[in-house]
Chain A
């Protein structure tokens, strides 16, 4: 996990504006999965269109970061930017390929789920690194118990219990945190 991963969105924006390259790397890392999910799972863009939108979102964010009125509003700003660029990509695709599939009726539901997933990810970021790592490997990266065991050098018999324990911590974190509007709290202590 990056040393900057505990910064709030507002702090991150300020450091990016000051020209800190590590802060920019963290900003991209923090929002890359979200932007990718909106492009591919929300709007179901082709790989090529999704790549174009992904790059354009961050290009515009970089160019216009100085115009953001409220630094803590980074997340809704990136969300709006991503959706607008996805809509443009879908419109362009329909002009070029009239038979292309229309935007799914489930779009609103899918985008709501992605927002919910992002809030879970923010809660995950407050857990100890070891918990973040094992949950991400198992759920987001589809790694098997065997792979996790080999890569983290843990006995395979302990993987399931660790995942269960970390899931419990994540659930507690979410239940104790009804407002997840932007990263605002420091990370929990390190270690499990």
Chain B
């Protein structure tokens, strides 16, 4: 790495690493709990055909009725999982 001596240059380099949007960081931090939620919903759908049918028919409504908060990322991830399974 080039040696950094110039304080002006240090300022330029610090400007390069600006904070990522808060929502992105939060979503990435919530990934482990989101995975757990998805696994839980998929397991429940496998055990309960009526619940699975409701999810396939209207994912958002079915999740809301089951007590989950149907955020955009959860919906997208679940659509992928339910299509795969």
A binding-site residues for B, Cβ under 8 Å:
21, 24-25, 28-29, 32-37, 41, 51, 54-55, 58-59, 62, 113-121, 124, 135-136, 139-142, 164, 167-168, 170-171, 174-175, 178, 180
Interface of A is mostly: helix
Chain B, interface SS category? helix
A-B contact count (CB 8 A): 101
Interchain residue pairs A-B with the least CB separation, the first 5: A36-B20, A139-B14, A58-B28, A117-B16, A33-B17
Q: Do A135 and B14 touch across chains, with their CB atoms under 8 A apart?
A: yes
Bound complex: CA A108 to CA B15 (Å): 18
Q: Mark B7-42, 1 if CB is under 8 A from A, else 0.
A: 100110111111111001101110111010000000
User: Which residues of B come within 8 Å of A, CB atoms?
Assistant: 1-5, 7, 10-11, 13-21, 24-25, 27-29, 31-33, 35, 73
A119 and B1 in contact, given A24-B32, A59-B31, A139-B14 (Cβ under 8 angstroms): yes
- What A residues does B5 contact at CB under 8 A? 171, 175
Are A171 and B17 closer than 8 Å at their CB atoms? no
Whether A116 and B13, one on each chain, are in contact in the complex, defined by CB atoms closer than 8 angstroms, is yes
Nearest-CB distance from B26 to chain A (Å)? Answer: 9
Q: How far is the CB of A29 from chain B (nearest CB, A)?
A: 7
